Structure 1
């Protein structure tokens, strides 16, 4: 199998020098329209796909991002490894604006999003005890270090619904009682859906602010966030551009089982499965169905 790296993030990540055959393509998904067209190409001999999470021009809020369509569309293209790159707030003094965190755990506080490809007519339960792929996360960490980025390995991401930022009381609870490290609005249900689709998933949090807990920084300032985002986009491109050399063009089975997450997950008896739902699952779960 060939490696194909899928990157979900902001539009600034896609202007990578050396991306050959860069073409924006439409991908039809039974789960609706993805956030945007997907930019495909080849970088250092490895196939790449770039998806603007919010759409070019930032048309989707964190709640309205079509997460199921996005993951399904990437898998339809042949993506094997998904890298999420997103802006986040920090709950840790040492995780400063401009730093990156390779996330390895999540607390999901979102409530207004479809979180599974499965449901009535085809019930499945996958494990997200370890929601990111260690192999892929290690590659992101190495790429960040090689690019000279201050990067922290491991961290818990609090996924909030948004679009508003946290109150001070919420920020203190997430930081002090729950032990979270960063906060964002977009990695859930994205990580859960990637696991259901048997895709390796890694999350790179680009810190833009200290949320609202920090006594010396006050509440989140959107102007500060945008200024930091500009610098982070350059760093994000540097990280992504180093991934093909680290992952290689030849894909071997995931040693952590991400690509076999559905092996024993589907519980609905074959004669009770809904044909209409099975048709929508043709790519996501086709290997086991």
Structure 2
């Protein structure tokens, strides 16, 4: 059994966890630099918790400048076993309305200005992201949302765009009508890929703020409307998070879907050919398979 430590990566409008006992902001350094902000740690219902504001307190990071590698590495270093990503998204589906939550299970990655792996020349690895989210953790998020009275949709494809601009009308229609995406956001990639490389279970809770630009009755995305919806969504998200420790417990068995063993056969570089500097650097996230 492994001691549970749940981390919430909070997106726009989510800046803390209610009811956290022994709450303390701690600076963490990683081989990839500092994360977006200090990490808030404590316990909730006896379960270890961590909170990391993805954009930093005060919203200082753009979607492209978020230090994704440092964020995931920092959470791994402090012992996090399960990451809940909470983020704002636009919806491509009429029934996924502003104010609704979507527990995402697939991604299409259209980002291009971000480092997407901890590995590289001198230590090469390939992990599977065929199923990029953890079904066990997603089950918990869905149940917690329903218990909190939130309208939640289970399953959906998240189009990750680079940003920071919103979609053109042509792009929005293509993502919706041709590619079959359900929601659009700017931050879950490469976050989910890096969590898989770090062998951390990952679930994505997407909070719908608008209908993007495809909807004929809504026109272009209005930031003032998004902010208003974000305020309501933030309270719902805190209600969801408060329910997770009681559901996940203080200890857990190995992930039934293998998220915590993703590197088992992923490293291709022969031991004698590995760059010692890369081995040292990667011990922060992949030490289990490198020692």
Q: Given the two structures, how large is their TM-score scaled by the length of structure 2?
A: 0.98
Does structure 1 conserve the Cα–Cα contact (< 8 Å) formed by 2:30 and 2:284?
A: no
Tell me whether 1:131 sits opposite 2:132 in the alignment: yes
Partner Cα separation in structure 2 for residue 278 and residue 189 of structure 1: 22
Aligned residue in 2 for 1:8: 9
Within 5 A, what are the aligned runs for 1:35-184?
35-184=36-185
Partner Cα separation in structure 1 for residue 71 and residue 46 of structure 2: 24
Cα drift, residue 11 of structure 1: 7.3
Structure 1 residues 12, 172: closer, same or farther in 2, change over 3 A? Answer: closer
Q: Deviations over 1:207-235 (max 9, x none)?
A: 00000000000000000000000000000
Q: Deviations over 1:4-44 (max 9, x none)?
A: 00100147545444210000001110111100000000000
Segments of structure 1 that go 5 or more residues without pairing to the other structure are none
Aligned residue in 1 for 2:34: 33
Does structure 2 conserve the Cα–Cα contact (< 8 Å) formed by 1:85 and 1:205?
A: yes
SS in 2 for 1:286: helix
Partner Cα separation in structure 2 for residue 66 and residue 15 of structure 1: 19
Q: Deviations over 1:181-231 (max 9, x none)?
A: 000000000000000000000000000000000000000000000000000
Q: Given the two structures, how large is their TM-score scaled by the length of structure 1?
A: 0.99
Partner Cα separation in structure 2 for residue 4 and residue 221 of structure 1: 37
Q: Deviations over 1:27-71 (max 9, x none)?
A: 110111100000000000100000000000111100010000000
Does structure 1 conserve the Cα–Cα contact (< 8 Å) formed by 2:141 and 2:240?
A: yes
Does structure 2 conserve the Cα–Cα contact (< 8 Å) formed by 1:19 and 1:43?
A: yes
Aligned residue in 2 for 1:217: 218
Aligned residue in 2 for 1:260: 261
Q: Deviations over 1:51-100 (max 9, x none)?
A: 00000011110001000000000010100000000000000000000000
Does structure 2 conserve the Cα–Cα contact (< 8 Å) formed by 1:212 and 1:220?
A: yes
Does structure 2 conserve the Cα–Cα contact (< 8 Å) formed by 1:14 and 1:237?
A: no
Does structure 2 conserve the Cα–Cα contact (< 8 Å) formed by 1:11 and 1:56?
A: no
Cα drift, residue 277 of structure 1: 1.0
SS in 2 for 1:39: strand
Aligned residue in 2 for 1:196: 197
Partner Cα separation in structure 2 for residue 279 and residue 235 of structure 1: 41
User: Deviating runs (4+, > 2 A) in structure 1?
Assistant: 10-18
